[in-house]
Chains A and B, each alone.
Chain A
């Protein structure tokens, strides 16, 4: 009854082209923002922040980044973990090198540095396509992790080889280091997520997004109608890596605080983010959020049920989790190759006709 275009009259082009054309959608979006900014920070505690909200928000940024590259531009990348590591180490070097500059600027700059590295590893994409490219991005993954492990300059010659986030604050509120309050962690991630999602949404529905999608659908045809494949592919790599770099920087500085590169940014991270966008939906910003939420919540839920509820050993629960994740991915690909986002779209279509579908 509520979900209708009826009575929603657009009187300008601006209104016609807005992101949420249906009034109900728009209000829902404002309501979600209001709850995220106005309610959750006041009731959040350490467990919820560390187990659910902060990883969800950070993975959402990474998933948006990978979705731009894989979902919108069609270039499969298995190097997400490596690019997140670039963001984390760039952020660490900037934080320790320029302690007086705001952490927000550091995070954005680390995104920029990651974008440059991403473009470098994206260059072969002009010659290599499909699987070959997916495997080529593994080169980025393994080389970058190895580099951060072996070159002591990156971890400031610390004896353990780890990097630790020093304490930094925004507007007098501590946001990194061990003394951070749960709500401060949550808030800084939330601000970045909202900004990134807003940028990504508007990029993908604009000219650059259309170019990416043309390349994804068929690159030769796109080239013939005048899309520059060099520009489109490299901007996709740059924008994607920018977001992934920000996610990596936040993952290190805000979420973990201390990072050992092989453990935190290994190949499994690449697959995790890839699964998020497959389950969430390729080529959808909402899908990135849905997929991130799904993949963050699933282990927490399974752990609570199996270990907490039934009292099983943790390794047993971990094995079962592998099976369930793998099974779900196969199931999603069979039942709905376009992921949760497509289910959401279908639901909306049904809602518009409800309660008179004929």
Chain B
């Protein structure tokens, strides 16, 4: 096979892997949107916050150390312990559940029956708040996240493909790992929502709030549950992205990348989020590879949005979204 084609294939594979990571973030959006009709802009910041908390707990940092130092004039930094990855992850899940409860108590409860756009803007406010809180708690320097995930180029694939095609594919082990995790997560979530009692309640709420309330489903509990799950998904996404490129502010920007993914897949479909993520991931890598050099590169910044925009003009509900029926 010609080199160009093989190279394009490698780009496609890497795009697929990047797409999986986008899909991970998009998954959190879909969960919350389905259950509460809220478009949770804070999902990306939740990933950042989760990753920051994980690193902070693991390193034994004292929360708000900078703030305390500034007020009391002390010089605190660390508790002086190092937690193992699994303990830190469990603790972080606890923090995310707590966050879900607080969000329901303080924000959502008071905004019931508001227009969707008001709720959307409230989550933008929440995103800003969490961003400030995360930095205030754990400091804003770039952190290294290390929970023992495989890193580096997979040599098996490199040699195997070299033997087949005479050209070695460079694929990050972490990407493969992320793909597996994402697949497990989707299967798990599907099973949960299809076969468990809570999952059924969740689908009932997504279908019709009032009808769900009238058969005795607690809306508040479902909201806390779904925000907790979204927090968990955010943690997984935060770990993957954090291990890839360090825990830093730009992590929260992946939320913006997840938006076109959602538009493409439809806001209400879990498979849609995955397929949309893959299309965006492959699309932007291939576009950058084929067209990028002609127009000066860095097309990844906008390609996803323009693709989603053009796509929506022809299919306003996305690939797998429910058909929008409007009545006066």
Contact = CB atoms under 8 A, between A and B. Distances in A.
Interface string A132-161: 101110110111011001110000000000
A79 to B, nearest CB: 10
Nearest to B140: A315
B129 interface: yes
A298 interface: no
Given A267-B256, A310-B70, A334-B110, A134 B128 contact: no
A313 B299 CA distance: 37
Contacts of A322: 128-129, 131-132, 135
Interface string B126-139: 11111111011000
Interface in A306-325: 310, 312-313, 315-316, 319-325
B298 A319 contact: no
Main secondary structure of the interface of B (DSSP, over half): helix
A325 B267 CA distance: 28
Nearest to A327: B129
Contacts, number: 140
A132 B111 contact: no
Residue from B111, B114, B129 with most neighbouring chain A CB atoms (10 Å): B129
A313 B65 CA distance: 13
A193 B295 CA distance: 38
A216 to B, nearest CB: 10
Interface stretch (B80-88, B144-152, B180-188, B308-316): B308-316
B90 to A, nearest CB: 27
Contact of B301 (A128, A142, A315): A142
B227 interface: no
Contacts of B120: 76, 131, 134
Contacts of B297: 150
B306 A319 contact: no
A interface secondary structure, majority: helix
Which of B126, B262, B302 is the most central at the interface, judged by chain A CB atoms within 10 Å of its CB?
A: B302
Interface residues of A, number: 50
Interface in B285-328: 295-299, 301-302, 305-306, 308-309, 312-313, 316, 326-328
A325 B128 contact: yes
Contacts of B106: 330
Given A129-B316, A337-B114, A139 B306 contact: yes
Given A135-B305, A320-B136, A329-B125, A127 B312 contact: yes
Interface of A: 76, 124, 127-132, 134-136, 138-139, 141-143, 145-146, 149-151, 218, 220-221, 224, 267, 271, 274-275, 278, 310, 312-313, 315-316, 319-330, 333-334, 337
17 contacts: A124-B309, A128-B309, A128-B312, A135-B260, A136-B263, A136-B308, A139-B305, A142-B301, A142-B302, A142-B305, A143-B305, A274-B121, A315-B135, A319-B140, A322-B135, A333-B125, A334-B110
